[in-house]
Amino acid sequence: MASNDKPFALICGGEVNYLKVPAGIRGEFENLYQVAYLPYVGSCDKPEVLRKWLRDHLKRHGRGPAVAVCFDDAFDAEVLTAYAAAGLLAICRTGSGYGTIRDDLMGQGGNGVGLYTAPGCNKEALAEFCLGTTLNLLHGITKGTQAVEAGLWPGNKHYAAIPTLHDHALLGRSRVLILGAGHSGLATALKLSQHTDVVVYNRKNRKLDPARNAAIRAHDAWLKQAPGGRTGSISRIYDDGLVAALKEASVVSLHLAWTSELTQWFNWKLMRHLRRAWFINTARGLLVDEADLLRALREGKLLGAHLDVRAEEPSGRDNITRHKLIHCTPHSGWTAGTGEMIGAALLNAVAFYKGEPIENKVIVACSLARPWAG
């Protein structure tokens, strides 16, 4: 197929992120698609940016992209309608989340456009990030650094006000509650169970697929043979065990996939059961009621929190970012696996072009004809 005859594929992360993908995957992708970039400048997750890019692209080429590879959830109903009218057939997400895209596609905005995700491709990077944030919270590493920068030191009369809390430890002394039994939740559970007991909350009694059950069984067997004996364990709970698990948790790490019905799911109704715990959110900011989070800190239900995601991003300075017991990072948990995430989405786009089954996850199947398929 001549280059000009290939369908366009929009890469929403820009060329810099695209080049993190292994060359072999990029080569296979470029054999099928003409690549067009929406540069990532911190604002490509805004619907108006997507609309402007499409207008400019149509002026130059007369047709829109057949496939969009995106990080973010900015394909709202209006954007979807515009892109579908210009020839969009499929959206390939670079992670497991899909936000409101699914709802819009199943409504009037989608017009048959498919939605495919790539869950689990950066789960190990995220699990390492969660381990690091857990240790940071328990040992007060960031707060200790800030204290030294302010000229404080142990023994200084003001130092006690800095919440470093050195009496907390992870190894065998803390119980971690993982909220969500998806790819990242289980990867984090497996990582942390090498140090302490972990409880995984499996929402709505969903059955784990055989591969995940096998991974947990194999990990349990490895722990029993680990040098020095078994350090931690993994157990699973469902809705009927959530309240008891919240009361016993030292650390709560949120890993649910956000959908509209789960907006502010982690709110005071759940937080009120905590007993001096630490909270970590690397999932989606919209899952958490931030006003209730501040209340939980005031009332001692939470000792501190690490928020890698916010309800609105970028968040700017507010009561959350200024709070002395909250650490905030700019959605950093996924970045170590950027190449893997985009690569998985590109492979989904390749399979879509060829009419092959999508190996990862089909959220909404494309109901439109692929023009190149004849």
CA dist., res. 265 & res. 235, Å (int): 22
Q: What does the pLDDT look like over 135-175, one tens digit per residue?
A: 999 888 888 888 788 887 766 655 555 554 445 666 667 89
Residue 155 — φ and ψ, nearest 5°?
105, -25
Model confidence pTM above 0.95: no
Structure tokens at 342: 């985009």
Q: What does the pLDDT look like over 347-373, one tens digit per residue?
A: 999 999 999 988 667 878 898 899 998
Quote the percentage of the chain above a pLDDT of 70: 78
Nearest residue to 307 (alpha-carbon basis) of 280, 283, 334, 270: 280
Burial label for 180, CB within 10 Å (0-12, 13-18, 19+), is buried
CA dist., res. 180 & res. 253, Å (int): 9
Mean pLDDT of the residues in the chain:
83
For the residues 229-254, what does the mean pLDDT come to?
87
Contact assessment for residue 13 and residue 44, using Cβ atoms and an 8 Å cutoff = yes
SS3 276: coil
Q: What does the pLDDT look like over 40-97, one tens digit per residue?
A: 655 445 788 888 999 999 999 999 999 999 876 567 788 888 999 999 999 998 876 6
More confident residue, 104 or 254: 254
Could you tell me whether strands 197-201 and 302-307 are parallel, antiparallel, or unpaired per DSSP bridges? unpaired
Domains and their CATH numbers in the chain: 3-121+337-373 (3.40.50.720), 123-333 (3.40.50.720)
- pLDDT at res. 364: 83
Q: What does the pLDDT look like over 96-115, one tens digit per residue?
A: 666 666 666 655 545 788 88
CA dist., res. 64 & res. 83, Å (int): 7
- pLDDT at res. 158: 57
3-class secondary structure for 69-134? EECCCCCCHHHHHHHHHCCCCEEEECCCCCCCHHHHHHCCCCCCCEEEECCCCCHHHHHHHHHHHH
Q: What does the pLDDT look like over 173-197, one tens digit per residue?
A: 789 999 998 888 988 998 898 888 8
Quote the percentage of the chain above a pLDDT of 90: 44
CA dist., res. 177 & res. 46, Å (int): 34
CA dist., res. 99 & res. 80, Å (int): 14
CA dist., res. 328 & res. 315, Å (int): 10
Measure CA of the first residue to CA of the last residue in the chain; give whole Å.
13
Q: pLDDT grade, residue 227 (50/70/90)?
A: very low
* Alpha helix ranges (H) inside the chain: 14-18, 23-30, 47-61, 77-85, 101-106, 123-139, 141-149, 183-192, 210-225, 242-248, 268-271, 290-298, 338-354
Q: Which helix (H) or strand (E) holds 233?
A: none
